[in-house]
Amino acid sequence: MIKNIVIVGGGTAGWMTAAALSRHLPEQCNVRLIESDQIATVGVGEATIPVIRTFNAGLGIDEQEFMRETNATFKLGIRFQNWGEIGEDYYHAFGYYGFPINDVSFHHYWMKMQKHPDTAPIHEYNMPYMASVYDKFEHKQFNNDSIDSRYFYAFQFDATLYAQYLRKWSEAKGVTRIEGKVTQVSQNNDTGFIESVTLESGECIEGELFIDCSGFRALLIEQTLKVGYKDWSHWLPVNRAWAVSTSYENNNTPIPPYTRARALTAGWQWRIPLQNRTGDGNVFCEQFLSEDKALDQLLENIEGKPINEPRLLKFNTGKRKKLWDKNCVAIGLSAGFLEPLESTSIALIQGAILLFIKNFPNKDFAPATENEFNRRMDIKYEESRNFLILHYHMTRRNDSEFWDYCRTMKIPEELQHRINIFRHRGHIAHKDSDLFIEHSWLEVLFGQGEKPGSYDPRVDTVEPQEVRRLLAEMKMDVARAAKAMPTHNETLARYCAGDLISNRNSK
Amino acid sequence: MNNKEINSIIIVGGGITGVTVASAIAKSLPQIKITLIGKDNDKSEALSMLPQIHEFHRQLGIDEKALMRATQATFKLATIYQDWNNLGHRYTQPLGPHGAATEFVGFHHFATKMHQLGDKTAYGEYALSAVAAENNKFAHPLNDPSSIFSTMAYSLHIDATLYKQYLGNHLLQGNINFYTENVIDVCLDENNGFIKSVTLENGKNLKADLFIDCSGKDATLIEKALGFSLEDWSCWLPANRVLSVSIKSKGEVMPYTQVSGKTNGWLRQVPLLNTVEREFVFNSEEVSIPEATEIITTGLSQTTFTEPSLREIYSGQRKQHWHKNCIAFGSAAGEFESLEVSNLQLTQKAVQRFINLFPDQSCNQTLVNEYNRLTKLELDNIRDNTILHYLSVTKKDSTIWNQWRQHSLPESLKHKVSLFNIHGQIASYEHETFYDGYQASTFIGLNMWPDKYDPFLDSFDIENLKQRFNYLRAAIRDTVTKMPSHRHYLENFVH
């Protein structure tokens, strides 16, 4: 079997890969990771989605320790402001609208009853949504039968600290870290397989399998193997981001249990709350807004004070034509970049790692293994991409050229199909392979202001009086459960406080 | 809400497919007026179902006990294949999983490692459902994940005729109009191509908002009226005839379906409460009716079985299952030899899918596309699973088996086979009927062991692994020893 694995690049992708490989592969495998302290990692992906917990649990990571070490906060969802139209506000919360009635999804009943005076806006039937509105969070195990624990959570953390944490973890498991910059890559003359990389110091590192975690540089997969890039910027036109960290206004500032995404004139601004600071950034399209103006826009809109110099990131949305080619697999930004709106970056890294481990090659690198990995990763990227496009396209905004473009652009057929299905009578065409659950699609479609023409006809077989009663009951249960929850700040202080937060709260 | 909801449906076809579809719609959408047209031309058949039947029954509010009492049904834990790859080859395909929960590496990787270390144990011995089946034992599964009974999974063997009667009596009483005449003409709307009405032999003209074709191979609506032909799969699955007999039986009741490979086809035995239904599936160019009769009655004494009955089948699926206001189910939509999945199972799943996407009178094209897309995916996957069963057959004396083996495979299956062969991974496609572990168990049962297992297991201590396997086998054996016999359990359950 393959025993010599070389990971080029540290950062979130590199160390997540190293940790998972060292956990999963037998001891005789030699995993080495080359990184340079001189190359800064991007570390933008500070917000995650609930699947991250599966990854951490797979490594056997202690959640409290991990949260302390990475300044992590809990995340119940994403708050979208000004997306459907300026002034609108909705959450994509990691949970459900109500319970199904007679096997038919709750929202069909709501759609029928929405004009009735007793019917509340649909989000009032969604537990994590309401908890987010009140900055509440309680640490609970998911239970589908009970409204007060029928939600998932993820984390917002400092990606640089997460990489450091996993580095410690991986090194303890036997991963070797090599400091240095790769200056040369050698390929086999006949097969084109990568045989070794040479560092600035002249040291030559040989390997049987190379994992490209070199970020946007894509040192191996693109610069060496030239697999090509599928450009998706016509669907996801943002291509720049200004990122800055800001302090909280004061020690009592509520820490929201969600990431905020506020749409601006040529993109959107993120606010990711950590225990000790927030990460802020303006993601925009340079063709519609200059870099200078975008920076001004960012600084105008932040709430606390900047605590570092804003950094500019440049990217092109899309993905490599092949994530696995010959004896090289690209994971992370080297594989592609969508954009941070739905925090899919780390989830895609995780997906790639798990799929790669499942399809870990033999020495002969049989084509079926590579094909399977590439086939499944294409599906994952395309589905995430479609979910992101949905946010931009489903808008009524006409206040800038950027939004005019997004609103009127032609979207991928598969996404158009899903939208059409929803428009007709509120069905969600969901797939097992989707990164997000059915209700995530529902929340975004409703949130962006989409209104289906009709509802599932089975709804009419239940007495309207009974529907009203059940709706009222669910609304009351959600309100009661949300009210009973501690605030996110309280939960953090109790469960996972790093030094900073305990100081903040004790002052 | 621009469009009108559907108020009336005509179902053409009075067999079990039509009754199943009518029952499901009547249960979910009782406000709709349903008319069922046509005689019941079904030949008697014993159905060997998958566990998905439980969800169908739950949605229809069918009580398992009452149903079993009325339909001669028995429990099914597995399919046992006999003389399949070659004479003497035997394996059990359980409906429930193998092994215990292990890391995130599938149990079959552990078994592959043990196999390479020389473990000759049949893979089925690591599945409770398989061992119980082989010993004619049965008990209901438990939900408690800490109990070994949570690894049981079962389904039912049912007499199709009695099943149809049961559905008709319980779900269609008073709700439905029946006509036993045949449809002789179908009238289309010239403007939009929708079906407007059908005319019966007696001249009666019937209108509806939606038309459902359950007319079997006749495909009265979807093909004869709308012109949708079949995508032909006979190059991969050439069987086109089924000959069946019903045999009286006493004593033990098998909690499994038995499938035996024969020189020119396969023989299946499905146990019902007091009979065993035997079927021979073959191609009519290869085997004559007397030859088939000989095969099916071998070893039986004259008085114990019924007159053999012949049924024609085909291999393929309709290019469109749903078109405008007409949708086809059952053999009108698609059919192929039911090695693991019966045609009625497909209908149950299809009608649930249809109800979830239930249209209004406009029959929105997006819904139609989604339904057709999902249905095609499902059938393609099951087709591949069926073809897979023939890949390691090594008989040389039959042209039909050779055809089964030598025809170039669908690309999807080719990829699946090579991926499993390399290191036991399952290429899981969208909308699969069988979970990964089930597919792995098929490969292994067919002796298509992978070359390599997941590298995670390289670091496993071999003695420890052997101990765990011995323990698991013993635990399963002990559990099965304490289980009641299938007949005993059945008799207590239904009385």
Chain A contact set for B368 (CB, 8 A): none
Same domain, B231 and B334: yes
- Residue B86 within any structural domain of the chain: no
Contact present, A393 and A448 (Cβ < 8 Å): no
Which of B382, B417, B432 represents a domain boundary (last residue)? Answer: B382
Chain A nearest CA to B202, separation (Å): 34
Q: Which of A1, A24, A424 is facing B366, going by the closest CB pair?
A: A424
Give the architecture (CATH level 2) of A4-73+157-228+317-377. Answer: 3-Layer(bba) Sandwich (3.50)
What range does the domain containing B251 cover? 241-312
Residues B471 and B414 in one domain: yes
A362: nearest CB among B6, B370, B423: B423
For the stretch A201-208, contacts whose Cβ atoms lie closer than 8 Å and that sit 24 or more positions apart, written own/partner, are A203/A178, A205/A6, A205/A32, A205/A34, A205/A178, A206/A4, A206/A6, A207/A4, A207/A5, A207/A6, A207/A32, A208/A2, A208/A3, A208/A4, A208/A5, A208/A327, A208/A363
Does B255 map to a domain? yes
Smallest CA–CA distance, residue A421 to chain B, in Å, is: 6
Q: In whole angstroms, give the CA distance from residue B201 to residue B180.
A: 10
Facing B455 at nearest CB: one of A26, A433, A453: A26
Residues B417, B453 share a domain? yes
Same domain, B69 and B165: yes
Report yes or no: A26 at the B interface, CB cutoff 8 Å: yes
B253 and B300, same domain (yes or no)? yes
Find out whether A202 and A50 touch, Cβ atoms under 8 Å.
no
CB contact under 8 A, A454 and B455: no
Query: What type of residue is B368?
Result: V
| Residuewise pLDDT in 10s, chain B (495 residues) | 457 999 999 999 999 999 999 999 999 999 999 999 998 877 889 999 999 999 999 999 999 999 999 999 999 999 999 999 999 999 999 999 999 766 578 999 999 999 999 999 999 999 999 999 999 999 999 988 888 898 999 999 999 999 999 999 988 887 799 999 999 999 999 999 999 999 999 999 999 999 999 999 999 999 999 999 999 999 899 999 999 999 998 888 999 999 999 988 999 999 999 999 999 999 999 999 999 999 999 888 777 888 999 999 999 999 999 999 999 999 999 999 989 999 999 999 999 999 999 999 999 999 999 999 999 999 999 999 999 998 888 766 666 666 666 678 899 999 999 999 999 999 999 999 999 999 999 999 999 999 999 988 888 889 999 999 999 999 999 999 999 999 999 999 988
Handedness of CA B121, B124, B130, B136 (dihedral sign): negative
Inter-chain residue contact A417 with B419, CB threshold 8 Å? no
Q: Copy the structure tokens of residue B25.
A: 């719609």
Residue B178 lies in a domain: yes
Would you say residue B387 lies in a domain? no
Q: Is A494 on the interface with B (CB under 8 A)?
A: no
Contacts of A215 (CB under 8 A, 6+ apart): A9, A11, A13, A41, A42, A332, A333, A334
Taking alpha carbons only, the member of B261, B216, B269 closest to residue B245 is B269
Cβ contact B29–A368 (<8 Å): no
CA of A374: which chain B residue's CA is closest?
B427
Query: Are A461 and B28 within 8 A, CB to CB?
Result: yes
Set of chain B residues whose Cβ sits within 8 Å of the Cβ of A425:
360, 364
B198 and B141 in a single domain? The answer is no
Are B427 and B461 in a shared domain? yes
3-state secondary structure of B462: helix
Q: Decide if A421 and B104 are in contact by the 8 Å CB cutoff.
A: no
Instruction: Tell me the per-residue pLDDT of A44-97, one tens digit each, with 9 for 90 and over.
Output: 558 999 999 999 999 999 999 999 999 999 999 999 999 999 999 999 999 999
CB contact under 8 A, B356 and A427: yes
Whether residue A371 and residue B415 make contact (CB cut-off 8 A), yes or no, is yes
At which of B312, B346, B366 does a domain end? B312
Q: Is residue B83 part of a domain?
A: no
* Contact A144/B at CB under 8 A: no
Chain A hits for B455, CB-CB cut-off 8 Å, are 1, 24-26, 29, 360
> Can you tell me whether residue A218 is helix, strand or coil?
coil
A457 touches chain B (CB under 8 A): yes
B248, B308: one domain: yes
Domain count, chain B: 3
How close A271 comes to chain B (CA, Å)?
35
Q: Is B81 among the domain residues?
A: no
Residue of A nearest to B451 (CA): A362
Using the Cβ of A100 and the Cβ atoms of chain B, whether some distance falls under 8 Å is answered with no
Give Cα B106 distance to the centre of its chain. Answer: 25
Residue A424 touches partner B, C-beta closer than 8 Å: yes
Sequence-distant (6+) residues with CB within 8 A of B462 are B117
Within a domain: residue B371? yes
User: With contacts defined as CB-CB under 8 Å, which chain B residues touch A417?
Assistant: 366, 369-370
Please indicate whether, in this complex, the C-beta atoms of A362 and B28 are within 8 angstroms of each other.
no
pLDDT tens digit sequence for A193-245: 999 999 999 999 999 999 999 999 999 999 999 999 999 999 999 999 999 99
Question: Which residues on B lie below 8 Å from A26 (Cβ)?
Answer: 455-456, 458-459
Interface test with B, best of A112, A354, A359 (most B CBs within 10 A): A359
Nearest to A421 among B1, B5, B366 (CB): B366
Asked if A425 reaches chain B (Cβ–Cβ under 8 Å), the answer is: yes
State both tokens at A200: 């600035």
Q: Are residues B281 and B428 in the same domain?
A: no
Same domain, yes or no, for B416 and B464? yes
Query: From the list A28, A58, A372, which residue is nearest B104 (CB)?
Result: A58
In this complex, the residue of A1, A29, A457 whose CB is nearest that of residue B29 is A457
Residues in B touching A427 (Cβ below 8 Å):
356-357, 367, 370
Chain B contact for A37 (CB, 8 A cutoff): no
Residue B301 forms part of a structural domain: yes
The complex scores an ipTM of 0.92
Determine the residue of chain B that is closest to A60 in CA distance.
B103
Chain A residues inside the 8 Å CB shell of B409: none
Q: What is d(CA B50, CA B8) in angstroms, rounded to the nearest whole number?
A: 32
Residues B286 and B415 in one domain: no
- Report d(CA A216, CA A102) in Å as an integer: 49
Q: Which helix (H) or strand (E) holds A5?
A: strand A4-8
